[in-house]
A and B are shown apart, each in its own frame.
Chain A
Amino acid sequence: MNTAAFTMFLCIVFVTLVITYYASKRTKNANEFYTAGGGLTGWQNGLAIAGDYMSAASFLGIAGAVALTGFDGFFYSIGFLVAYLVVLYLVAEPLRNLGKYTFADMIAARFDAKKVRGFAAMNTVTISIFYMIAQLVGAGALIKLLLGLEYTTAVLIVGVLMTVYVIFGGMHATSWVQIIKAILLMGGTLVISIIVFAKFNWSITDMFAQMKTATPLKETFLNPGVKYKIGLDTISLNMGLVLGTAGLPHILVRFFTVKDAKTARSSVVYATWIIGIFYVMTIFLGFGAAAFVGNSAIVAANPAGNMAAPLLAQALGGNMLFAFISAVAFATILAVVAGLVLTAASAFAHDFYNVILKKGKATEKEQVGMARWAAVGVSVISIILALGAQTLNVAFLVSLAFAVAASANLPVILYTIYWKRFNTTGAIWAMVVGLISAIGLVIVGPNVFSPEVGKAIFVGEPWFPYSTPGIVSIPLGFIAGYLGTIFSSQKADVKRYEEVLVKSNTGIKIGG
Chain B
Amino acid sequence: MGAKKTKVNSESDYTSIVQSSSFQTLLSEKKKFIIPFTIFFFCFYFALPILTSYSTVLNHKFIGSITWAWVFAFLQFVMTWVLCMIYSKKAARFDELATKVIQEGGNSQ
Contacts and interface: CB of A to CB of B under 8 A. Distances in A.
Given A90-B38, A242-B45, A495-B15, A505 B52 contact: no
Interface residues of B, number: 56
B9 A84 contact: no
A279 B77 CA distance: 9
Nearest to B26: A505
Nearest to B50: A235
Given A228-B53, A235-B46, A276-B81, A74 B102 contact: no
B83 A502 contact: no
Interface string A262-291: 100110110011001001100000000000
4 cross-chain pairs, A with B, having the tightest CB-CB distances, nearest first: A511-B9, A231-B53, A224-B52, A205-B64
Given A222-B69, A508-B101, 6 more contacts: A272-B81, A280-B74, A505-B23, A505-B26, A506-B98, A510-B13
7 contacts: A266-B88, A498-B15, A499-B14, A505-B30, A506-B101, A508-B6, A510-B14
A499 B11 contact: yes
Contact of B98 (A85, A88, A211, A507): A507
B78 to A, nearest CB: 9
Secondary structure at the B interface, as helix, strand, loop or mixed, is: helix
Interface string A67-78: 000010011001
A502 B88 contact: no
A234 B65 contact: no
A111 B60 CA distance: 53
Interface string B1-33: 100111011010111011000010011001000
A81 interface: yes
B80 interface: yes
A194 interface: no
B64 A82 contact: no
Interface string B52-88: 1110001100011111011001101101110111011
A85 B65 contact: no
